[in-house]
């Protein structure tokens, strides 16, 4: 993306990231590259070919290389410096590695577009001379991740052509205000910057498409001007709703290019339906996953849960919905509206007052349901279904129940006009941290079930008495006990 190598047609409405991924997939299919955990590696043969074709435009310098000066010429466009001893501090660094510091030819590389600092492990590099970096006015890509730097110099604002900036896994505590001068920046990576609690005004980053932090990295507040980033496609950390004008939920209104997943937290700061609806979630057609979260410590203070949730209606393209900390007995109608025909996964957690599930059986493609940290004592027909509905979960395949300390049993009563097979496609059932759960009469009514997972639940003795089930291997990683249904026995008349 930073080198403008992606063929992009705005009329197709396909994001550049997806097009770039398709390029990588094609190269993997042709064995040009192979994929590891978080990176791609080019094959040896193609690497040699690329080195030959690129000539002196691309150079990798290893720490300790005696030929540093001879590698670097005025035609250099892409420089990767690999520090093996983790104590590097060359021309951009302060420390023991003097290879780049001695390289006089770097001053002639006015056309340098890419500068990558690579280290073998977490680096001890604690200081970088951004003033020297800004000599490269045409720089498009700058990667100084895995360092121990604690701040970024205001000189970063001089790199006005920069399109990719990676500061991940560094010790930075703040970003300078001048970063908003990077009007062409497309990607800003801040993953694992654990000391970073706030971001400066980002209003000037009008081209920014990816702002990457850890999904559980909670900023103290949203950066000023974030509502102006209408090109933003990925905001990977939670959107923390505040009480000021700069971080109210309404700043999301024009950010309709957001795609993938979005988490909105501290919804207790939203006052009413009108304010919630200002987020215009229904206009964000590219969002596939949405998490709506109230803080647990707000229970008792917030009285408008149903009203606020009623104003947060997402687009019908949504596939995954997670609701956490919702402290009302009932859910608004949109949660189970049949128009959400693409909704495949629902998770409800810490909904303390919820005594009945919303009619999720109405969702035609719902395949996975998680119920977490509720205070229900018994699962029964009334909890899962509307009495007299005669309907079941037609597509549900996975059901997870976790952190339910009061749950004692799950029964399905007769005579409530519930289908004989309320879960006709359920294959996997999981119970974790349900210390009072002692029997599951429902197993007799779920003929499709093949796998039962149990952890921290006193069900083992009861399960040993159930015909057609046998204990499987203990999952050592999660300590979950698996039970498998004997398919042959279950199919006998």
Residue ranges per structural domain of the chain:
1-51, 356-493
Q: Is the dihedral of CA 338, 343, 345, 347 positive or negative?
A: negative
At 342 the pLDDT is 92
pLDDT for the residue numbered 91: 45
Residues 6 or more apart whose Cβ sits within 8 Å of residue 13: none
Q: pLDDT at residue 346 above 50?
A: yes
Least confident of 250-259, 302-311, 379-388: 379-388
Average pLDDT value for residue range 291-315: 86
Per residue in 410-457, pLDDT tens? 887 665 555 556 788 999 999 999 999 988 888 877 889 999 999 999
- pLDDT for residue 464: 84
The answer to whether residue 332 scores a pLDDT higher than 50 is yes
CA distance 178 to 165: 14
The tokens for 164 are 């990719």
Q: From CA 118, how far away is CA 174, in angstroms rounded?
A: 22
**pLDDT-wise least confident of 4-18, 46-60, 299-313:** 4-18
pLDDT at 101 over 70: no
Q: What is the pLDDT of residue 439?
A: 86
pLDDT value for 239: 94
298: confidence class by pLDDT, cuts 50, 70, 90 = low
The 10s digit of each residue's pLDDT in 166-207 is 999 888 999 999 999 999 999 999 999 999 999 999 999 999
Mean pLDDT over residues 394-418, rounded?
Answer: 83
Write down the mean pLDDT value for the chain: 83
The CA distance from 172 to 357, in Å, is: 44
Stretch 242-247: mean pLDDT = 82
Instruction: Report the pLDDT value the prediction gives residue 103, as an integer from 0 to 100.
Output: 57
Which own/partner pairs from 139-143 qualify as long-range (CB within 8 Å, at least 24 positions apart)? Answer: 139/112, 139/113, 139/114, 139/115, 140/2, 140/3, 140/113, 140/114, 140/164, 141/2, 141/3, 141/78, 141/113, 141/114, 141/115, 141/116, 142/115, 142/166, 143/115, 143/116, 143/117, 143/118
The band of 399, judged by pLDDT with boundaries at 50, 70 and 90, is very high
* pLDDT at position 390 over 70: no
Of residues 324 and 244, more confidence is placed in 324
Residue 164 has pLDDT above 90, yes or no: yes
Structure tokens at 330: 């009932």
pLDDT band at 86 (very low <50, low <70, confident <90, very high): very low
- Model pTM score: 0.86
Percent of the chain with pLDDT over 70: 83
DSSP state of 222: P
Residue 198: the pLDDT is 92
Instruction: Give yes or no for residue 318 having a pLDDT over 90.
Output: yes
Is the pLDDT score of 279 beyond 50?
A: yes
Lowest mean pLDDT among 21-30, 63-72, 308-317, 370-379: 63-72
Size of the chain, expressed as the number of residues it contains: 493
- Which of 58-67, 108-117, 153-162, 382-391 is most confident? 153-162
Measured CA to CA, the distance from residue 485 to residue 143 in angstroms comes to: 52
- What's the pLDDT band for 299 if we cut at 50, 70, 90? low
């Amino acid at each position: 993306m930073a080198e403008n190598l992606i063929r992009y047609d705005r009329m197709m409405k396909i994001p550049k990231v997806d097009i770039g991924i398709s390029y990588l997939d094609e190269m993997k299919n042709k064995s040009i590259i192979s994929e590891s955990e978080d990176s791609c590696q080019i094959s040896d043969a193609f690497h040699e070919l690329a080195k030959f074709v690129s000539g002196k435009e691309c150079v990798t310098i290893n720490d300790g290389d005696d030929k540093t000066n001879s590698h670097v010429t005025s035609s250099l466009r892409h420089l990767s410096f690999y520090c093996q001893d983790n104590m590097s501090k060359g021309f951009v660094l302060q420390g023991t590695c003097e290879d780049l510091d001695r390289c006089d030819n770097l001053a002639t590389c006015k056309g340098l577009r890419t500068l990558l600092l690579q280290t073998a492990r977490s680096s001890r590099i604690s200081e970088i001379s951004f003033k020297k970096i800004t000599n490269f006015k045409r720089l498009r890509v700058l990667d100084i991740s895995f360092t121990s730097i604690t701040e970024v110099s205001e000189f970063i604002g001089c790199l006005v052509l920069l399109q990719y900036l990676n500061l991940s896994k560094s010790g930075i505590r703040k970003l300078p205000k001048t970063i908003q001068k990077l009007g062409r920046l497309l990607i800003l990576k801040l993953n694992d910057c654990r000391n970073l609690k706030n971001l400066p005004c980002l209003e000037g980053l009008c081209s920014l498409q990816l702002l990457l932090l850890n999904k559980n990295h909670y900023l103290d507040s949203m950066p000023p001007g974030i509502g102006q980033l209408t090109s933003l496609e990925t905001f990977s950390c939670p959107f923390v709703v505040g009480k000021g004008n700069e971080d109210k939920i309404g700043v999301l209104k024009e950010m309709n290019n957001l795609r993938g997943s979005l988490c909105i937290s501290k919804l207790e700061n939203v006052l009413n339906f009108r304010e919630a609806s200002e987020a215009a979630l229904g206009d964000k057609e590219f969002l596939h996953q949405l998490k709506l979260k109230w803080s647990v410590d707000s229970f008792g203070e917030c009285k408008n849960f149903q009203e606020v949730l009623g104003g947060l209606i997402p687009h019908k393209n949504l596939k995954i919905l997670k609701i956490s900390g919702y402290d009302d007995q009932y859910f608004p109608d949109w949660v189970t509206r049949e128009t959400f025909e693409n909704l495949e996964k629902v998770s409800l957690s810490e909904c303390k007052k919820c005594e009945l599930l919303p009619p999720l059986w109405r969702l035609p493609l719902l395949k996975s349901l998680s119920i977490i940290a509720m205070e229900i004592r018994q699962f029964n027909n009334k909890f899962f279904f509307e009495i007299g509905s005669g309907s079941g979960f037609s597509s549900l395949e996975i059901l997870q129940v976790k952190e339910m300390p009061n749950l004692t049993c799950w029964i399905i009563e007769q005579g409530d006009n519930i289908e004989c097979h309320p879960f006709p496609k359920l294959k996997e059932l999981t119970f974790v941290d349900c210390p009072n759960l002692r029997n599951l009469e429902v197993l007799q009514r779920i003929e499709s079930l093949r796998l039962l997972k149990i952890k921290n639940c006193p069900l083992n003795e009861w399960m040993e008495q159930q015909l057609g089930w046998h204990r499987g291997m203990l999952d050592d990683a999660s300590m979950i006990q698996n039970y498998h249904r004997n398919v042959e026995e279950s199919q006998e008349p």
